[in-house]
Amino acid sequence: MRLDAHYTDPTLVSRYDAENSGRDDTDFYVALADELQARTVVDVGCGTGVLAAELVDASRDAAPGSEPTSSDRTVVGVDPAAAMLDVARSRTGGQQVTWLEGTADAALDHLGPGSADLVLMTGHVAQVFLTDDDWSQVLATAAALLASGGHLAFETRDPERRTWTRWTPELTRERSTDPDGTVSTGWVEVTAVHDGLVTFDGHTVLEDGVDRVSTSTLRFRSRSEVEASLDAAGFDVAWTYGDWDRSPVGPQTSELIMVARRR
Ligand SMILES: C[S@@+](CC[C@H](N)C(=O)[O-])C[C@H]1O[C@@H](n2cnc3c(N)ncnc32)[C@H](O)[C@@H]1O
C-alpha cells in the first residue's frame, strides 16, 4: 500500500497534531459515541490517535474532584502508517486503546464479526479510498464489524462546494510556530483534477530550508454516490449534517457528515 509522505515521514508526522489542532470534529464524534452509548468503537485510519484516546478518556465522566475510573469503553484504532501509530501509542490515554497496524480488516480479524457498536472514519479518511472497489470493500468490512443496529460515521468533503479551488499556494500559505518552537511555512498546490479525483502537493519548509513535499490524491464523492454505496453495503442513512454544529447540508456548508445504521 502506497501511503502519503505526510503519514510516513517522521518529520512531517511529528508536526501532524500541531497542524491539525483545535478540531471541532473530535467533539462531534465523542458526543455521537456517548449518545449512541457505543461500548466498542473502531477508529479506521486513526492516525495519531487524538480521537481514539479521547473516546477512552474516563475523566470526561468523572464527578468534579473525584478520581477518574478506567473507561468502560473498548476502543480499537487501526492505521496502516506505523509512524502515525508511534505517536498514537505514546499519547496520554494511549495505553487504554488497542492500536493495530493495518486496514479495517485488521480490526475485523482482531474483534470478530458483529462485535462493534460504532465504526468511525475521521479526518476525511473516507476520501483516501480512490476506487469504487476500495470504497465498497471498506464499507463491507465496517458492516461486518457491526451488529445489526450498529453505526458507521464519517465525513467527506462535498464536491458541490469545490473546496479544492481554494487549495492554492496564495490562499493556503501559512507561517506557524509549533508548541516546541519550530517555525515552518506550509502551503498546498493542486496539480490535477479529473473524474472526482483531486491530486495536490502539500509543502512544508522547516528551519533547515528543505521543502518536504507530500503528494496526495483524494476522491470527492457526491452525496447521492455516498448514499447509494451505503445502501449497497447494508446501511440506512440515519443523519447527514453539513457542519460539526449539526447544521443541515446547504450552500454555506462544505462537509457531508454521514451517520449510517447497519440494517
Ligand atoms: C488525514 S489522516 C486522518 C487521521 C485521523 N483519523 C485524524 O482525524 O486525524 C488519514 C489517515 O488515513 C490513513 N490511511 C491511509 N490509507 C488507509 C487505508 N486503506 N485504511 C485505513 N487508513 C488509511 C493514513 O495512514 C492516515 O493516518
Q: Where are the beta strands (DSSP E) in the chain?
A: 40-44, 74-79, 98-101, 116-121, 146-157, 174-177, 183-194, 197-205, 211-219, 235-241, 255-262
Determine the Cα–Cα distance for residues 247 and 240; give it in Å rounded to an integer: 9
My answer on whether 155 and 174 are in the same domain is no
User: What is the band of 182 on the pLDDT scale with cuts at 50, 70, 90?
Assistant: confident
Does the pLDDT of residue 102 top 80, yes or no? yes
Spacing, Cα 125 to ligand 1 middle (Å): 5
Does the pLDDT of residue 89 top 80, yes or no? yes
My answer on whether 146 and 182 are in the same domain is no
Residue with CA nearest ligand 1 atom 11? 45
Q: Is the shortest distance between the CB of 122 and ligand 1 below 6 Å?
A: yes
My answer on whether 104 and 174 are in the same domain is no
143 membership: H or E segment, kind and range:
helix 132-145
As a whole number, mean pLDDT of residues 46-52 equals: 97
Residue with CA nearest ligand 1 atom 3? 123
Domain boundaries, position 145: 5-159+222-262
My answer on whether 22 and 115 are in the same domain is yes
Dig out the grid coordinates for 53 from the structure. Answer: 484516546
* DSSP state, residue 40: E
My answer on whether 192 and 231 are in the same domain is no
As a whole number, mean pLDDT of residues 192-203 equals: 97
My answer on whether 184 and 63 are in the same domain is no
Q: Is the shortest distance between the CB of 156 and ligand 1 below 6 Å?
A: no
Q: Is the shortest distance between the CB of 79 and ligand 1 below 6 Å?
A: yes
As a whole number, mean pLDDT of residues 65-93 equals: 87
Q: For cell 449518545, name the residue.
A: 35
As a whole number, mean pLDDT of residues 108-124 equals: 98
User: What is the band of 63 on the pLDDT scale with cuts at 50, 70, 90?
Assistant: low
When divided into structural domains, the chain yields a total of: 2
Does the pLDDT of residue 67 top 60, yes or no? no
User: What is the band of 20 on the pLDDT scale with cuts at 50, 70, 90?
Assistant: confident
My answer on whether 238 and 250 are in the same domain is yes
As a whole number, mean pLDDT of residues 99-113 equals: 98
Q: For cell 453539513, name the residue.
A: 242
**What is the total residue count of the chain?**
263
Which ligand 1 atom minimizes the distance to the CA of 134?
A: 19
My answer on whether 155 and 165 are in the same domain is no
Average pLDDT along the chain? 94
Most informative mutation of 4, 44, 128, 218 for ligand 1 (most atoms within 8 A of CB): 128
Does the pLDDT of residue 62 top 60, yes or no? no
Burial of 20 (0-12, 13-18, 19+ CB in 10 A): middle
